[in-house]
Amino acid sequence: MARGRVVAVTGAGRGLGRAHALAFAAEGAKVVVNDLDVGREGEPGGAVAAGGAGFGAEGPGGPAAQVVAEIRARGGEAVAHGGDIATAQGAASLVDCALDAFGRLDTLVNNAGFLRDRMLVNLAEDDWDAVVRVHLKGHFLPLKHAAAYWRAEAKAGRRVAARVVNTSSGAGLAGSVGQGCYSAAKAGVLGLTLVAAAELDRYGVQVNAIAPAARTRMTEEVFARTMAAPGEGNFDAMAPENVSPLVVWLGSDASAGVTGRVFEAEGGRITVMEGWHPGPSADRGARWTPAEAGEAATGLLASARPPHPVYGAEPAP
């Protein structure tokens, strides 16, 4: 399905990113495997902390190099990239890496991120900045530099059939207690996806987002190992590999015409999310008084659908 396409995947040394990189390679894509090699909360030297050889993200002991080695061992083509995609230089070098190694870039999968879970009153400004930086800025900058390349290709008269797959979360869709910075960043990814899809369509670029649920370093404390009922092949519903087929499809020519959409993916389930839509409304034709506005809002709420519960919130009494 993705044969011959050049795909860059950020945060591809472990978890979902690794699964995506391997899945694209299995479908014949050439893959740029980006990973900065940091820990679960963004601390440096994740491979070293885990007992790796300590050669950095691209070196023999780094996670990006390990994924590249896996792909090559299976007959695929891949290169490692260890730049920080939340910097302009690192994001630009990601695109350059694809061009230098394979001559073009067709698909960008924005996946890199880490967590610093804190309740709001305990959330430090540095933690907020770090999480918003890696998730939101780390989506914006690779998208910006890839889009500039694709726009130049389109203006030069060359056919562009580019794909971007952004990574949001259920926390970005509904919120998650203890994850204020992560939820805000992932909600921002959704807004960025919608704008990018509208702006870049004229250049042949499709932009979509996924909200995956899978067992990774970031979620290992949330998800216990989940297996399907006997007789279904012991299906591991929380395996990150379950999410990758949708990502490969979105990143391929086969998804032509699909843009500006958000999909939840978990286990064997795929859901198209419908986002914010106008609900009940009242128009007085003139300015409300506070009392009148309150009365109108109360009536509208009575006929509106209840909001999706925030993950981890106490159930209503």
For the chain, which ranges sit under pLDDT 50? 42, 46-60, 222-231
- Asked about 182 being catalytic, the answer comes back as yes
Cβ neighbours, 10 Å, residue 63: 28
pLDDT tens digits for range 125-166:
999 999 999 999 999 999 999 999 999 999 999 999 999 999
In a domain, residue 305? The reply is no
Q: What is the percentage of the chain residues whose pLDDT exceeds 90?
A: 76
Q: Rounded mean pLDDT of the chain?
A: 89
In a domain, residue 309? The reply is no
In a domain, residue 307? The reply is no
In a domain, residue 51? The reply is yes
pLDDT at 226: 38
Catalytic residue chosen out of the listed positions 137, 168, 186, 244: 186
pLDDT at 38: 65
In a domain, residue 292? The reply is no
Cβ neighbours, 10 Å, residue 75: 9
CATH code for position 245: 3.40.50.720
- Asked about 203 being catalytic, the answer comes back as no
Catalytic residue chosen out of the listed positions 137, 149, 168, 169: 169
pLDDT at 56: 41
Spatial contact of 214 and 238, defined as CB atoms under 8 Å apart? yes
pLDDT at 313: 87
pLDDT at 219: 53
- Asked about 169 being catalytic, the answer comes back as yes
pLDDT at 53: 31
In a domain, residue 279? The reply is no
pLDDT at 107: 98
**Considering its fold, how many domains does the chain have in total?**
1
In a domain, residue 287? The reply is no
pLDDT tens digits for range 167-197:
999 999 999 998 989 999 999 999 999 999 9
In a domain, residue 262? The reply is yes
Amino acid code (one letter) for 92: A
Catalytic residue chosen out of the listed positions 182, 244, 252, 255: 182
Range of the structural domain that residue 196 is part of: 6-273
Spatial contact of 186 and 171, defined as CB atoms under 8 Å apart? yes
Q: Which two tokens stand for residue 273?
A: 């999310």
Name the nearest CA neighbour of 272 among 198, 214, 210.
210
